[in-house]
Amino acid sequence: MPDENSRLIDDQEEERGGLVDKSNNSINKDSIVTKVRSKKRIFTTNCCKPKDDAVSDESFEDPKLKSFGEVNRAFFAEQSFELWIVIIIKLFMSMILLIDDLTFLLYCQYEYGLSISEAGVAFCISALCLFAYGLAISGYMIDKLGVKISLMIGLVLYSITKFIFIFAETKTQLYIALITIAPLSISILIPVLTLAVKKLTSEANRPYAFSIFLGAMVLGAIFGGPIVDYIRKDFKTTTFNYTHHNDELDIDEERQQEFSAWRTIAFVGFVINVILAILLCFYNSKTEDQFAEDVDWGK
């Protein structure tokens, strides 16, 4: 009988939490530690809750992450034509800027006879002007003029830069472009495109929009290299034939103008910028108003 009673007592203690070890009737330390930690966690959670409002335990649970399909549907339900205009401009501007980085030094060497050090100094001065314009002029201009007008100014200035690079013949013309309109246009275009994405999306869909925006930037950079190789290989020189009327002799003369691959690359950039400026004309600034209340300018 004593043995049966002891077995019943042990079984009852195991059902209550396993605090007693059958082998030596000692307290199970692991069970005690687990219960203490559980009580400590409950106490900490209760301390973190507001005292005035009755908050349920469900409000402290981790929010469930949305599936990719739900995020995708939410974004495309909110998308706008203006947002895709911005993404397209980012795609081609990224491509043009990378092409400039790849060909600028060679362009200066072959077209103007600059040494590598002289071309590097010119590039460095242009970058410093870009930094200065971004701090002193571009930010203020974007805040006052808004996305569309600022973006149009940037595209027009960059188109003029490309036009100068096509026909410039002296180092002076090159230097003037490198310290004025070239860095000013870039200092406007880069930040205003980022601002446009923020003003055309709600906070919930903004991360998804920026992922597409940055993906377009990377995709444009990928296309830049092959385009340069294609032009250098198949269009080493580009010639144009035209008729010129000689007033002194009163006759028409057939003339030929030849352009190197580097000037042809500048021409391609000029054409793309003009097309982007035309596309920007269809941008409706009123679309930004529906997201105005959802923009936190402190972020």
**Predicted structure pTM score:** 0.72
Q: Is 113 left (phi over 0), alpha (psi -120 to 50) or beta?
A: left
Q: Does the structural domain 81-227+262-288 have CATH classification 3.40.50.2300?
A: no
3-state secondary structure the chain: CHHHHHHHHHHHHHHCCCCECCCCCCECHHHHHHHHHHHHHHHHHHHHCCCCCCCCHHHHCCCCCCCHHHHHHHHHHHCCHHHHHHHHHHHHHHHHHHHHHHHHHHHHHHHHCCCHHHHHHHHHHHHHHHHHHHHHHHHHHHHHHHHHHHHHHHHHHHHHHHHHHHHCCCHHHHHHHHHCHHHHHHHHHHHHHHHHHHHCCCCCCHHHHHHHHHHHHHHHHHHHHHHHHHHHHHCCEEEEEEEEEECCCCEEEEEEEEEEHHHHHHHHHHHHHHHHHHHHCCCCHHHHHHHHHHCCCCC
Q: Which two tokens stand for residue 181?
A: 């309109």
| Distance of alpha carbon 156 from the chain centroid | 21
Dump pLDDT digits (tens) for 74-127: 777 888 999 999 999 999 999 999 999 888 888 898 889 888 899 889 989 999
Rounded Cα distance, 156 and 277, in Å: 7
pLDDT per residue of the chain (299 residues) written in tens, 0 to 9 = 445 555 545 555 555 544 444 444 444 444 544 444 444 444 444 444 444 444 444 433 444 446 767 777 877 788 899 999 999 999 999 999 999 988 888 889 888 988 889 988 998 999 999 999 999 999 999 999 999 999 999 999 999 999 999 999 899 999 999 999 999 999 999 999 999 999 999 888 888 899 999 999 999 999 998 998 888 887 767 776 777 777 777 787 777 777 788 888 999 999 999 999 999 999 999 998 888 766 665 55
